[in-house]
Structures are given as structure tokens and as C-alpha cells.
């Protein structure tokens, strides 16, 4: 069994990375400082909308791929999920 420090290492590292600002944060901050509050809000909205569109398109692409190549879906799905009664 793992020791407590070992078990706490991952959540601690995940928290540090979650709190570290990334390029999107720097972009929004730079736009806010350069153009004011409205420019910063527009940048934040654009970043959020871009992430949303990216997620939707990625999900649609995977859906099309898995529909076209069913063995690929079966290879990437754990056997515990495949055995659910709702699966065909």
C-alpha cells in the first residue's frame, strides 16, 4: 500500500498546475491592460467560446470516426463499459 505522502502527491501537483496561469490568462490580462475592461471581457469570451467550439468539434469528429470504424471504438472502450446492458 502507498504511503500518505505518495497518495497526496498527485492532488497537490494537480492543484499547483490548476492555479498556474496559462497563455489564455496572460492574453486576457494583456488585452484588459491595453484596452480596458470591455476588451478584456471580449478576450475572455473569445477564449471560452473557442474552447467550447473546440470541444464540440472534437466530440463530433470522434463520433464520426468511431461510427465509421467500430473496432476502433471497441479497442478504446474498457470492457466494463462494453458489458453494460444499454450497449448494443
Q: What domain count does the chain have?
A: 1
Comparing 1 with 50, which gets the higher pLDDT?
50
Q: Give every CB contact of residue 87 below 8 A, 6+ residues apart in sequence.
A: 81
What is the domain range of residue 69? 4-82
* More confident site: 21 or 56: 56
Q: What is the 3-state secondary structure (H, E, C) of 17-83?
A: HHHCCCHHHHHHHHHHHHHCHHHHHHHHHHHHHHHHHHHHHHHHHHHHHHHHCHHHHHHHCCHHHHC
The model carries a pTM of 0.64
Question: Is 88 part of any domain?
Answer: no
Decide if 60 is inside a domain: yes
Q: What is the mean pLDDT of residues 14-29?
A: 91
The 10s digit of each residue's pLDDT in 28-80 is 999 999 999 999 999 999 999 999 999 999 999 999 999 999 888 888 877 76
- 87 in a structural domain: no
Please identify which residue in the block is written with the cell numbers 496572460: 26
CB 23 within 8 A of CB 35: no
Q: What is the largest CA-CA distance in the chain?
A: 56
Orientation angle between helical segments 37-68 and 23-35, nearest 10 degrees: 150
Whether 88 has a pLDDT exceeding 60, the answer reads no
Amino acid at each position: 500500500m502507498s504511503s500518505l505522502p505518495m497518495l497526496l502527491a498527485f492532488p497537490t501537483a494537480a492543484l499547483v498546475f490548476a492555479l498556474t496561469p496559462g497563455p489564455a490568462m496572460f492574453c486576457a490580462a494583456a488585452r484588459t491592460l491595453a484596452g480596458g475592461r470591455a476588451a478584456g471581457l471580449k478576450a475572455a469570451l473569445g477564449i471560452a467560446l473557442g474552447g467550447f467550439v473546440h470541444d464540440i468539434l472534437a466530440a463530433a469528429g470522434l463520433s464520426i470516426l468511431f461510427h465509421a470504424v467500430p473496432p476502433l471504438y471497441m479497442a478504446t472502450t474498457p470492457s466494463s463499459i462494453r458489458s453494460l446492458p444499454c450497449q448494443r
